[in-house]
Amino acid sequence: MRGLDKGQECEVQFLTDPKPVETEHGSKFDIQVQLLSHPHPDYSSLDKKGKHLTWRTNCHVVRVTIMDLFANEVENFQKDWYERTWTISCREDGNIWVES
């Protein structure tokens, strides 16, 4: 999945837990998503079902917050992870945030 510029957001449904991967740029996480909306022109013709893609990221919210929620088996988190539609946003400071 293409990255977001500051102030942009996209909508996804998560299809897998974050999986650690080693890349030439260091440790990251791969998450399979159903991309429902994205501001990049490459995704301007998404149909209503979206597109199955991989989100590769090392953002703090995944690396720390979301992985902690999975590791600590927080009640209903895993159910929500798979059932809800989530918004991934790039804040003006460049940080990525994930919320439902």
pLDDT value at position 73?
A: 85
pLDDT value at position 41?
A: 93
- Compute the residue count for the chain: 100
Tell me, what DSSP letter sits at residue 95?
-
Kindly tell me if the per-residue pLDDT of 74 is higher than 90: no
Q: Contact 10/35 with Cβ under 8 angstroms?
A: yes
Band (75; pLDDT cuts 50, 70, 90): confident
What distance in Å separates the CA atoms of residue 45 and residue 80, rounded to the nearest whole number?
27
pLDDT value at position 20?
A: 96
pLDDT value at position 100?
A: 93
Kindly tell me if the per-residue pLDDT of 80 is higher than 90: yes
Give the number of C-alpha atoms closer than 13 A to the C-alpha of residue 98, restricted to the C-beta side.
22
- Give me the sign of the Cα torsion angle 2, 8, 12, 14: positive
Amino acid at 13: Q
How confident is the model over 40-47, as a mean pLDDT?
A: 91
- Mean pLDDT (the chain, rounded): 95
